[in-house]
Amino acid sequence: AVARDVARILALDVSFRGGTRLGRDVSLDGLLSDGFDAVLLALGAGRARKLDVPGADGAGRPEVVDALGYLARVASGDRVPSGAKVVVVGGGNAAFDAARSALRSGADEVVIAYRRTRAEMPALADEILAAEREGIVIAPRLSPLAVQREGPLGLVCLATEPGEPDASGRRRPQPVEGSERLLEADLIIVAVGQDPELEAPACELDVDPRGCLHRDPETGATSRERVFAAGDVVDGERTVTAAMASGQRAAWGIDRLLMGAELADLRAPPPLREEWPGSEGAAVAARPGAPRRQRPSELSPERCRDGFEEVVGALSEEAARAEAARCAVCGQCANCRACLDLFGCPAFYMEEGRIQIDPILCTGCGVCADFCSNGAIVPVDGSPA
């Protein structure tokens, strides 16, 4: 899929130069003086954060590796020695990817240590449940203290308790003195986040403490004229969706700049998604008797340990056809206007192509919810919505 995307881009007469590093092979000054009207920095965040505790940089066992490097090794065929004990530090999706990969590579025991509670783990809920189902142990409220390389090998941790709230409002974990605990390990995988590989001071760009670029969220414009940024290299949420959205907005900003507009005077770009009419305030309600969702098959926890076969299988042709045919327009206003033309309630009115309910005229009787054939109206706090 990536190769196809690259081929499509190159077919648009886009030039590609591999093995080129900003600050080493090219500079912003050089690019801008070479005739380029704008530069977009989409450098990602590929520098893994290290485990900053005594013993982490030592040689020998236990081996300490970062999650990105470990996953690359697994992809190339590397395997964990049979019977090995593995500790993964972190609570995000990369931590769970590494833990589940270690289990499939031959590890006898895998433990995920996280300094906050299980409920505060940023990983997807499905990833957490799948890992536990496969036998991976989650050890919450543990903070790394040192890597122990003599005697019993492993990671020494301290228990944590909630401390004072930080700038985001989350209570920062505080270590509990005298609560040392050893997690035995032959391999320690560190998955505590990534930062951009960017020498921002040399580029004369404003960055945050993590080294992420500050940019206008509407246009992608950085602190330097004609330089834009998008993706994980910028400040803000780090998700695939956010990266794609920032790329679209940066493209819009660059286009406006090349058309001669002043970025400081630009109005906000058009929304990235158009909502269907009637979606505001409408709650989704399943219609009685609607066909149930088709579920793909899943490997048993025992099968998961045998290799890297996909855990969730594909739907059969019969199931796929049933899934495609089961839409009952449940919970979505189809603009049939029955509530407006046939129901006769004065609370209903049309505004900008959408059917609305006047909360002042609505008596909260709920009859309209029973009347709507699409199930697009459901009582919310005693009143229809």
Q: Which of 238, 196, 235, 195 is nearest to 214 (CA)?
A: 235
- Integer angstrom CA distances of residue 322 from 20, 213, 378: 50, 47, 27
In the chain, CATH 3.50.50.60 sits at: 2-45+196-265, 47-194
Q: Which of 308, 234, 180, 271 is nearest to 45 (CA)?
A: 234
Q: Which of 207, 184, 192 is nearest to 85 (CA)?
A: 184
Euclidean distance between CA atoms 104 and 100, whole angstroms: 6
pLDDT average, residue stretch 320-332: 74
Dihedral in degrees, nearest 10, Cα atoms 311, 48, 63, 136: -30
- Integer angstrom CA distances of residue 300 from 106, 247, 285: 17, 39, 33
Identify the pLDDT of residue 21. Answer: 86
Question: Regarding beta strands 187-190 and 85-89, do their DSSP bridges make them parallel or antiparallel, or are they unpaired?
Answer: parallel
Q: Which of 153, 156, 118, 148 is nearest to 136 (CA)?
A: 118
Mean pLDDT rounded to a whole number for the chain: 84
Identify the pLDDT of residue 328. Answer: 57
| 283 DSSP 8-state letter | P
* Other residues' Cβ atoms within 10 Å of the Cβ of residue 318: 9
Under the banding of pLDDT at 50, 70 and 90, the label for residue 326 is confident
Q: Which of 302, 312, 295 is nearest to 133 (CA)?
A: 302
Quote the pTM value.
0.69
Angle at 316 between CA 313 and CA 322, to 5 degrees: 120
Identify the pLDDT of residue 283. Answer: 41
Euclidean distance between CA atoms 121 and 74, whole angstroms: 24
* pLDDT at residue 368 greater than cutoff 90: no
The domain 2-45+196-265 having CATH identifier 3.40.309.10: the answer here is: no
- DSSP labels, 115-159: SS-GGG--S-HHHHHHHHHTTPEEE-SEEEEEEE-SSS-EEEEEE
- Asked if residues 277 and 333 have their Cβ atoms less than 8 Å apart, the reply is yes
Strands (E) across the chain are located at 39-41, 47-48, 63-66, 85-89, 109-113, 137-139, 142-148, 154-165, 171-175, 181-184, 187-190, 194-195, 227-229, 348-351, 354-357, 379-380, 383-384
- pLDDT digits 0-9 by tens, 195-231: 887 765 556 788 877 778 888 888 899 988 899 999 9
Under the banding of pLDDT at 50, 70 and 90, the label for residue 337 is confident
In the chain, CATH 3.30.70 sits at: 276-290+328-385
- pLDDT digits 0-9 by tens, 43-99: 888 888 999 999 898 878 888 999 999 999 898 888 777 678 999 999 999 999 999
- Integer angstrom CA distances of residue 88 from 66, 70, 111, 189: 9, 11, 6, 5
Q: Which of 114, 118, 73 is nearest to 95 (CA)?
A: 114
Into which CATH architecture does domain 47-194 fall? 3-Layer(bba) Sandwich (3.50)
- DSSP labels, 54-65: TTTT-SSSSEEE
Topology of the domain covering 276-290+328-385: Alpha-Beta Plaits (3.30.70)
Under the banding of pLDDT at 50, 70 and 90, the label for residue 274 is very low
Residue pointed to by tokens 């190769």: 3
* pLDDT at residue 17 greater than cutoff 80: yes
